[in-house]
Structure 1
Amino acid sequence: MEPHNKQHNIKLTCTEIGGLWGIFNQESMNVQFLTYFLHHLQDEEIKPLAKEALHISEGRLEKVKQIFLEENFPIPEGFSDGDVNLAAPQLFHDVFTLSYLYMTNRLGMINFSYFASNNVRLDILDFFTECIHTTTEMFGKAVKLMLSKGIYDRPPKMEYPKEIEFVQKGSFLNGIVGKKRPLNAIELSEIFFNIERNYFSVIIMLGFAQVINDKKLKNHILRGKSISEKQIQFFNDLMMAEDLLGTVTVGMEVTASTVSPFSDKLIFALINMLNSVDISLISHAMSVTMRTDLTAQYSKIIAEVMNYAKDTFDILIEKEWLEQPPLVTDRKKLLE
């Protein structure tokens, strides 16, 4: 797509600043993880995809830097090669790199669409539109490779309805008391992807807990792993109760290494991001759910994840690992 010529008298708005700032930190994190994965990667099918993903992330970083320089806006610190120890042994088996590409691009499609919808300066909109395009392509390539390797767990199938139906009074919302109606397609989809997302979290939390030395940080990571496992257990049990097959793991993706390849700061930045994504997607699931038992469960899950996210945030502040997002001018302070 040909970029629009920037009108130099139009400054960035808060939504454009927030989106670009968030993308910079997200992609600088991505670059470090992908660089480490590629350093150890042996699978000749996954390697080209990981290289392409790294190239895309590096390109996005340079684009945001260029925009910020043109605007005389301070470039965020983000993450650097000092946050990764390439000499550390391989922490995750090769297949996890493919899981990482699948999950980060799936979540990226959601994030970039949100950022794009908040922008009105056309050159920035073009940038986010291109991000959506490349992320969607990468997601498709990751799914295709996972299918060819037999490691992609498809969402559950369901019978097509024979005719359209309209909701009958009271029956559709039942769940806590009375006879529960079957799950609808939207609810089942949200349950499946909740399980899938939490399996990813369990694997990465296990790897992080295995290599981090600080006891307090290790316990916090294990707590996050336990929260994800509880969600998986609940939703798998629910699917089984509905006479649907639960979703199962495809295998262990963590090696026996106990040497950390990542800085504690990088580890907790990713956990912080996963918390944010989890809260957003669980909230979305609750908003489209029409059965009261599921709504009640989602409310409990959100409360638990928000509490964990708050404690994660406190650790980031305590360790001085959290870079301050751009603030608006404090007018009250100027008037003192």
Structure 2
Amino acid sequence: MRMKDLKPLTSSEVGTLWMTYQEKTMLQRFLEYFIEVSDDKEAKNIMTNTHSTIVKYVEVIKTIFEKEGAVIPIGFTKEDIHIGAPKLYDQMFDIMFLRMIKEISMGLHTLHLNMSYREDLVLLYKELTAFTQNVFHTCVEYLQVKDVLPRPPSVTMPKRVEFAKNTNYMSGLNLFSNKRALNTVEVSYIYHTIESNIFGMQMITGFAQVANEPEVKKYFVKGKELSKKIVTDYTQVLLQSDIQPSSTWGAKATDSKISPFSDKLMMYCTSLFTSFGLGSNALGTSFSLRSDLPLLMTSTAKDIFTYGQDGGKIMARNGWMEQPPTMEDRNNLTK
């Protein structure tokens, strides 16, 4: 379909394209650094192929904005990375980072597909979804072969269908009664929270070491402590059901204090992970039936939300928060 035959972009479509552009240019910059410092041929190939495809989609989005007469977002540029910096993370971090970003992207692309009405954008998000799923799968395979991706706890296979006998199935707040064992749905969300925050803690530890601005460094240290608290609290829930969460040996921060990334880039990345944490937490709250779990997850969500807001204030004060396109201010226009 020719561009002139297409209907104008809706506000939702402009917003989702803008978000996609920010996320893709951010990933471009991280991959360019990781590719440069990687000494693993297979990992470098995965990242190089991913990077070249992302560049193509960034150009597609640029073309759409240009055809619509819209300004091209700035996103993140070569000025946001320092290729000559030494390794900030040990081996495997790069592919674990790519896997986590692709996990976030899968959810975003599906959501943005649902918000799109124009044929070219529907096709764009369908392609991005398929591409993202393939990269995610490739990362998982690579990490499992390297034995660096821990698997969730095992469980005895159910032999019969069971139904809750009464409302005691949903109890969990009474200190004087025994809590029922966690079900597999609850374990899946708890484990995912632990896994995500362990990786986030490793990532943000590196950010804290190399941040230039004192308030940014302090913010990253605060984020590391928040992730540590979440991991501790949720691990305790598993241990109460005699479930021992596994851990990974890779993807730790090195002792480098030379930053490969701008503070702006690291702050946006942290903001993206924080938003992802809020979304995952909301899902876990919705599908956990033992009453103590939603209470814990709601408390966690409050802490994550507050942390995210603090980060937004830092970005705004430093001029790092690129604003999404805004609706017309009719009150101002009519003055």
TM-score where L is the length of structure 2: 0.96
CA distance in 1, matches of 2:195, 2:310: 24
> How far apart, CA to CA, are the structure 2 residues paired with 1:226 and 1:54?
32
Say whether 1:174 aligns with 2:150.
no
Amino acid at match of 1:20: L
SS at match of 1:171: helix
1:333 maps to which residue? 332
Structure 2 counterpart of 1:287: 286
Q: Return 104-113 or 27-36, whichever deviates more.
A: 104-113
- Describe the SS at the equivalent of 1:127: helix
Output the CA distance in 2 between the equivalents of 1:251 and 1:102.
Answer: 14
- SS of match in other structure, 1:237: helix
- Look up the match of 2:259: 260
1:252–1:11 Cα change, 3 Å: closer
Single out whichever of 178-187 and 244-253 deviates more from structure 2: 244-253
Of the three residues 25, 29, 33, the one matched with 2:30 is 33
Return the offset for 1:211. Answer: 1.0
Greater CA drift, 202-211 or 242-251 = 242-251
| Inter-CA distance 232–16: structure 2 relative to 1 (3 Å threshold) | same
Deviation digits for residues 67-119 of structure 1 (CA, Å, limit 9, x no counterpart): 11111111101110001111111111231111111111112111111111111
For residue 45 of structure 1, give the secondary structure of its aligned residue in structure 2.
Answer: helix
Separation (CA, whole Å) in 1 of partners of 2:189 and 2:169? 17
Which ranges of structure 1 fall in alignment gaps of 5 or more residues?
Answer: none
Is it true that 1:309 corresponds to 2:308 in the alignment?
Answer: yes
The whole-number CA distance in structure 1 between the counterparts of 2:80 and 2:211 is 13
The amino acid that maps onto 1:73 is A
Cα pair 1:199 1:249 within 8 Å, conserved: no
Contact 2:205/2:224 (8 A) holds in 1:
yes
Instruction: State the Cα distance separating 1:5 from its structure 2 match.
Output: 5.3
d(CA) in 2 for partners of 1:267 and 1:140? 25
Residue identity opposite 1:226 in structure 2: E
Q: Provide the residue aligned with 1:93 in structure 2.
A: 90
Match of 1:148 among 142, 145, 149: 145
Distance 1:170 1:188 in 2: 20
CA distance in 2, matches of 1:82, 1:22: 20
> Residue type of the partner of 1:100?
F
Q: Matches of 2:282 and 2:314 in 1, distance apart?
A: 24
Q: How far did 1:168 drift?
A: 2.4
Check conservation: 2:148, 2:250, Cα contact below 8 A. Answer: no
Distance 2:226 2:2 in 1: 48
8 Å contact from structure 2 (residues 92, 250) kept in 1: no
Corresponding letter in the other structure for 2:58: L
Letter in 1 for 2:16: G
Deviation beyond 4 Å, 4+ runs, structure 1: 4-7
Q: Does the 8 A contact of 2:210 with 2:257 survive in 1? A: yes
Deviation at 1:213, TM superposition (A): 3.1
Residue deviations 1:142-187 (CA, integer Å, cap 9, x gap)? 1111111111111222122212122222122111113211111211
Displacement of 1:138 in angstroms is 0.5
- Corresponding residue for residue 24 of structure 1: 21
* Whole-Å separation in 2 of the counterparts to 1:207 and 1:171: 45
Superposed, 1:194-233 pairs within 5 Å as: 194-233=193-232
- 1:191 is aligned to 190
For residues 26-68 of structure 1, what are the alpha-carbon distances to aligned partners after superposition, in whole Å with 9 as ceiling and x for unaligned?
0000000000001111011211001111112211211110111
2:319 is the counterpart of 1:323: no
Distance 1:325 1:252, change over 3 A: closer
Stretches of structure 2 that go unaligned for 5 or more consecutive residues are none
8 Å contact kept, 1:187–1:289: yes
Provide the C-alpha distance between the structure 2 equivalents of 1:196 and 1:18, rounded to a whole number of angstroms.
Answer: 30
Corresponding residue for residue 59 of structure 2:
62
Task: Determine the C-alpha separation between the residues in 2 that align with 1:295 and 1:282.
Answer: 9
Q: Counterpart of 1:299 in structure 2: which amino acid?
A: T
Kindly provide the CA deviation profile for residues 273-296 of structure 1, in whole angstroms up to 9, marking residues without a partner as x.
111111111111111111111100
- Please give the alpha-carbon distance, in whole angstroms, between the structure 2 residues aligned to 1:94 and 1:60: 28
* Contact 1:195 1:247 survives alignment (8 Å): no
Q: Secondary structure at the match of 2:169?
A: coil
Quote the Cα distance in structure 2 between the aligned partners of 1:36 and 1:335.
49
Task: Give the CA deviation at 1:298.
Answer: 0.5
Of 117-126 and 241-250, the range deviating more from structure 2: 241-250
Question: Which position in structure 2 is the counterpart of 1:45?
Answer: 42
Identity of paired residues, percent? 29
Matches of 1:317 and 1:33, distance apart in 2: 22
**Paired residue type of 1:203:** Q
Rate the CA distance shift 1:102–1:9 in 2: closer, same or farther, 3 A.
closer
Contact 1:115 1:128 in 2 (8 A): yes
Q: Pick from 90, 100, 107 the counterpart of residue 103 of structure 1.
A: 100
Aligned residues: 333
* DSSP 3-state at the match of 1:89: coil
What is the Cα-based RMSD across aligned positions, in Å?
Answer: 1.3
Which AA in structure 2 matches 1:308? Y
